[in-house]
Amino acid sequence: MTTTKVQAARIYFLDYARIFAFSSVLVGHLFSEDLTRIYTDTELHIFFRALAEGLNHLCRFGGAGVVVFFMTSGYIISHVLQEETTLDFLIRRIFRIYPLFMFAILSEMLLLSVTQNTPFPPLQEILPRLLLVGDFTGTPYGLGGVEWTLRVEVAFYVFMALLKASGVLRLHTKLPIFLLLISLLVFYLPAFPNSFGWTDGYFNIFFPFLLIGILFQRHEAGHLKTNYFHIFVGVIFVMTLLKSQALQAKLNSSNFELFALVIFYGLWRFREHLNGNFLVKTLSEMTYAVYLFHLWSWETLGVLVEKYGVAFLPNRLQRLILLFAFCLLAAKTVEKYGIKLGRAISRNYTGKAK
């Protein structure tokens, strides 16, 4: 299988996957009630009602976006680890994920302190949250709850670093079988985390999608035949549905997992026809910031718009513009310089000039 654009410096189809991921999360978290109101309004034309209902199902809970985010991460991490050393990978990932995350967490605490007189949490709660190890200490989530996905992501980085250091990633023909066994292990493990109710077992349910992302990249690289690729992906996918059914009944009312798999597969399948441009690149680079900031800042943005906004634009549109402007600024400053610092430190330790 050819990899014309996948071998380029930028993997274009992942930009589109990231844009879908954060867009669907935004819709699912912030505009679900609006969509419900539209598709239940019998005075509207059935076309608009059907469109709103379909969009609501696609974006429900933001689940499809999260699944695409995980598959994207599994793909790109498998891709970069073909070249990076274990130390190189860990340094770059730490500075890719933590600076902006910590900035978001501290910003949320400061905002709550100023606007609601909420006292800062004790240090024994702040530190596990900042380090994304709160699932092991029962630490409540920050950022309106979206932090849970970053905890899963960090666990995946550790997992991949171990695979790289142990040489398992070089066992190309055996790696898919190993990933299937890991999926089985995750399936049969007790629910983790099990401290928060609404996210109990989310690691068991969503971690396998990161492994599916690896299978996409390994198949593309020619290390997994097409038939086996479909079988492995299908088996892991069905296991996630069964685990979801057992641990989180509220997720059973939506086919977001299937929507996400189809969308990711479609983008990947037609990757050679997807080109990058300034707008796509900019939106893609905002993905992480939008995900971190959108939920907990939304009400405050509404207050700002009420006080200082313009009358001729809808309140929610003005909030969205402010959110995007702030996230673009955060991506171009905190996130960008964090990534640069990680690369500089990586070069010092590994001698690579990437």
pLDDT (tens digit per residue) in 148-168: 999 999 999 999 999 999 999
pTM of the model: 0.93
* 160-209 tens-digit pLDDT: 999 999 999 999 999 999 999 999 999 999 999 998 888 999 999 999 99
Phi first, then psi: give them for residue 313, nearest 5 degrees: -120, 140
For position 117, what pLDDT does the model report?
A: 85
CA distance 138 to 195: 6
Say if residue 2's pLDDT is above 80. Answer: no
The answer, yes or no, to whether residue 214 has pLDDT greater than 60, is: yes
Residue 298 CB burial class (10 angstroms; 0-12, 13-18, ≥19): middle
Task: Kindly state the helix (H) or strand (E) to which residue 203 belongs, with its residue range.
Answer: helix 202-220
**Statement: residue 24 has pLDDT above 60:** yes
Q: Is the per-residue pLDDT at 4 higher than 80?
A: no
Cβ neighbours of 345 (radius 10 Å):
15
Q: Check pLDDT > 90 for residue 3.
A: no
Q: What token pair was written down for 155? A: 């666990």
**1 has pLDDT over 80:** no
Average pLDDT over residues 68-90: 95
Q: How confident is the model at residue 57 (pLDDT cuts 50, 70, 90)?
A: confident
The torsion angle over the Cα atoms of residues 342, 203, 242 and 227, rounded to 10 degrees, is 20
Q: Residue 262 above 80 pLDDT?
A: yes
What does the pLDDT read at residue 352? 55
Question: What residue segments make up the domains of the chain, in order of their start?
Answer: 12-350
